[in-house]
Chain A
Amino acid sequence: MADVKRTWIKDAFWETPSKELLNCISEHKEGFKDVRQVHKLKRGDPLFDECVEQLTIEFIDKTTDERVNKKFKEQEQQRQLEINKRKAERLEQLFNYKLETFEVEDIKESKNRILKSRLRRAKSIPEVNLYAIMIIQDKLENDKETE
């Protein structure tokens, strides 16, 4: 074991804030073969000390920070995509709901362009319902006047 000359890849990072567990990759030669090993080393393990000595604590701190930031960014992007997904789904549902509302006979026949435009621009189902009621009321009033 002691004879093996390892090179520690420069992407080691602390698994825990207490720096008791180190995640690192080593490379060494075995005859003509290049051997690459992934380690999770506990403090007290001779390889732990070897890796820390070669890469230095400051360097491992830096790669750990970079990794945490990268993970945080990825999570944030994932969260944003989830929000967007829900938003897009809601928008599509709202579009469908508006189309169905426009098919209601009295709304279909209504000539009130202003209220119909407001309904089309509505941002939620309750708002659509509100304008739908207003359009129907307006239509009924107009029908009464015509009679």
Chain B
Amino acid sequence: MIKKPSKGYLVVASRKPNFYSLAINCIESIKDYYPDAKCCLVTEEKFLDGREDIADDLIFCDDHYRAKLWGMANSPYDITMYIDADSEIEHEDIATVFDELNNNDMMFHKLDEKYKKVYAITSFTYENVREYYTYCGGVCLYDMRNPLVKDFMNDWNDLFRKQYSKELILPMDPWQELWDFDQTTLWYLLNKVDKYKNIKVDSFKDNLRWNYFPHYERYFNAFPKDPVVIRHYSSYAQKDKSYA
């Protein structure tokens, strides 16, 4: 008999206590709409205040700026839906997100050229050739039953840490604007590393539904076909120093 894969949601909060509060809010919102959801909180032990009980799994991480990448690589689930802590769930279809994977290894929110005003950075040059970020790391649905995906997640974390500590400088320009984005590492791994050329990556069909930035409405009057499932308050969190 084939064993059913375990499926769960992963939220990471490191560095700032406010991210812990955001992560708790995010997990509680998942359970508001999907009470049976399995949720894993990856956070620093020092932040715990009792609210972590809402999580089914608790993993401690270090205080790295992008501990999320370590958290993603260490998910306790076969199939994981990673969600940025500054997001909130607002629809019961969160329970069906795993169906979105189809036969892919990883799914991301696509950075659509027409909404580029919303994104921090979209284009750059790699070895003097103009390139574009394709995916946003705000949400990621991935299947670690494929060992290549597990390797990918580990490499994403390792490479980003090297990039962030200035140990690694990729031939990308303007590097001073790219070095602290995990999207930079994501783009590099997906586009320039042979080992991952056959990894099956795609974006969500109703793309805006699974990572809806308020700016999509604010600047473009753009909405998903079906109701928003995950609303991502990232622009707001960046603006407000308390969530920086």
- Seen from chain A, the residues whose Cβ lies within 8 Å of a Cβ on chain B are 77, 80-81, 84-85, 87-89, 91-92, 95-96, 98-99, 102-103, 108-109, 113, 116-117, 120-121
**Are A99 and B22 in contact (CB-based, < 8 A)?**
yes
Q: Give 18 new A-B contacts, CB below 8 A, not counting A99-B22, A116-B28.
A: A80-B221, A81-B219, A84-B217, A91-B214, A92-B236, A95-B88, A95-B236, A96-B236, A96-B240, A98-B25, A99-B21, A102-B24, A103-B21, A108-B49, A108-B51, A113-B31, A117-B32, A120-B28
Q: Which of A77, A88, A108 has the most CB of B within 10 A?
A: A88
Tell me how far the C-beta of B20 lies from the nearest C-beta in chain A, rounded to whole angstroms.
Answer: 11
Tell me how far the C-beta of B152 lies from the nearest C-beta in chain A, rounded to whole angstroms.
Answer: 32
User: Mind listing 26 A-B residue pairs with CB under 8 Å?
Assistant: A80-B221, A84-B217, A84-B218, A85-B218, A87-B217, A88-B215, A88-B218, A91-B214, A92-B214, A92-B236, A95-B233, A95-B236, A99-B21, A102-B25, A108-B49, A108-B51, A109-B50, A113-B28, A116-B28, A117-B28, A117-B32, A120-B28, A120-B29, A120-B32, A120-B88, A121-B90
Q: Which residues of A contact B240 (CB under 8 A)?
A: 96
- Seen from chain B, the residues whose Cβ lies within 8 Å of a Cβ on chain A are 21-22, 24-25, 28-29, 31-32, 49-51, 88, 90, 214-215, 217-219, 221, 233, 236, 240
**Are B221 and A102 in contact (CB-based, < 8 A)?**
no
Interface residues of chain B: helix, strand, loop or mixed (majority): helix
Interface residues of chain A: helix, strand, loop or mixed (majority): helix
Q: Which residues of A contact B217 (CB under 8 A)?
A: 84, 87-88
Q: Which residue of B lies closest to A84 (CB)?
A: B217
Complex Cα distance A96/B240, Å? Answer: 9
Q: Which residues of B contact A109 (CB under 8 A)?
A: 50
Q: Which residues of B contact A77 (CB under 8 A)?
A: 221
Complex Cα distance A113/B88, Å? Answer: 16
Tell me how far the C-beta of B84 lies from the nearest C-beta in chain A, rounded to whole angstroms.
Answer: 14
Tell me how far the C-beta of B92 lies from the nearest C-beta in chain A, rounded to whole angstroms.
Answer: 12
Q: Which residues of B contact A120 (CB under 8 A)?
A: 25, 28-29, 32, 88
Instruction: Give the top 6 A-B pairs by smallest Cβ distance, nearest first.
Output: A88-B218, A88-B214, A117-B32, A92-B236, A84-B217, A85-B218
Q: Which residue of A lies closest to B219 (CB)?
A: A81
Complex Cα distance A29/B224, Å? Answer: 53
Complex Cα distance A32/B198, Å? Answer: 61
Complex Cα distance A108/B48, Å? Answer: 12
Complex Cα distance A87/B214, Å? Answer: 9
Complex Cα distance A68/B22, Å? Answer: 48
Tell me how far the C-beta of B77 lies from the nearest C-beta in chain A, rounded to whole angstroms.
Answer: 23
Q: Which residues of B contact A116 (CB under 8 A)?
A: 28
Q: Which residues of B contact A121 (CB under 8 A)?
A: 32, 90
Q: Which residues of B contact A81 (CB under 8 A)?
A: 218-219, 221
**Are A99 and B25 in contact (CB-based, < 8 A)?**
yes
**Are A84 and B221 in contact (CB-based, < 8 A)?**
yes
Q: Which residues of A contact B25 (CB under 8 A)?
A: 98-99, 102, 120
Complex Cα distance A57/B241, Å? Answer: 61
Complex Cα distance A102/B18, Å? Answer: 11
Tell me how far the C-beta of B186 lies from the nearest C-beta in chain A, rounded to whole angstroms.
Answer: 26
Complex Cα distance A21/B88, Å? Answer: 56
Tell me how far the C-beta of B50 lies from the nearest C-beta in chain A, rounded to whole angstroms.
Answer: 7
Q: Which residue of B lies closest to A86 (CB)?
A: B218
Q: Which of A85, A87, A95, A99 has the most CB of B within 10 A?
A: A99
